Amino acid sequence: MADLVLDVGALADLLAQCFQAGDWTKPRVQTTHFLTSEDTRRINRIVWGDGRYVVVASAVAFAELARKWDEIVAGRFQPYQLAAFLQDPPDWFVVEPVDEDLIPLFGQVPIVQKLEWPDIIHAATVLSREEGNLVTSDRDLRQAMELLKGN
């Protein structure tokens, strides 16, 4: 088991399920377009677990969410819900800052095809965790992470 770092699509799907749950701090996460059955199994183990591992999203993932609001959120939740989540996230969730600690990790991320700067930040965020795995449906980002594992 490891911390799970979410890209923006996985983050939006998780948040939508949190806000639809009766208690948004303890959702039962289901498979979606951006969350596979394996992803949801691991997220649920963290949500309902002993607190050793967390779900993580970088501040950039939230900025991407705002930038692509209509496309990604698509009416599944409201800005006030996101604001409440950011003000008081559940114990199992961490908003990871984008700061000077990530800078040395940027250079470790292999550049593949159409990798964009937010993708590099997601990958560097995974590298910043003692134990971390990325949750993404982005083929190029998955390829970069596979290349990292090979090194």
Q: Look at 111 and 51; give whichever has higher pLDDT.
A: 51
Q: What is the pLDDT of residue 58?
A: 95
State which fold the 3-146 domain adopts: Rossmann fold (3.40.50)
Smallest Cα–Cα separation from 150: which of 110, 116, 104? 110
Q: Where are the domains of the chain?
A: 3-146
Among 36-40, 133-137, 145-149, the range scoring the smallest mean pLDDT is 145-149
Q: At what angle do helices 117-128 and 59-67 cross, to 10 degrees?
A: 150
Spatial separation of the C-alpha atoms in residues 151 and 80, rounded to whole Å: 42
Torsion over CA: 87, 18, 61, 54 (sign): positive
How many angstroms separate the CA atoms of 45 and 96, rounded?
20
Q: What is the pLDDT of residues 88-106, one digit of tens each?
A: 999 999 999 999 888 888 8
Q: 47-71 pLDDT, tens per residue?
A: 999 999 999 999 999 999 999 999 9
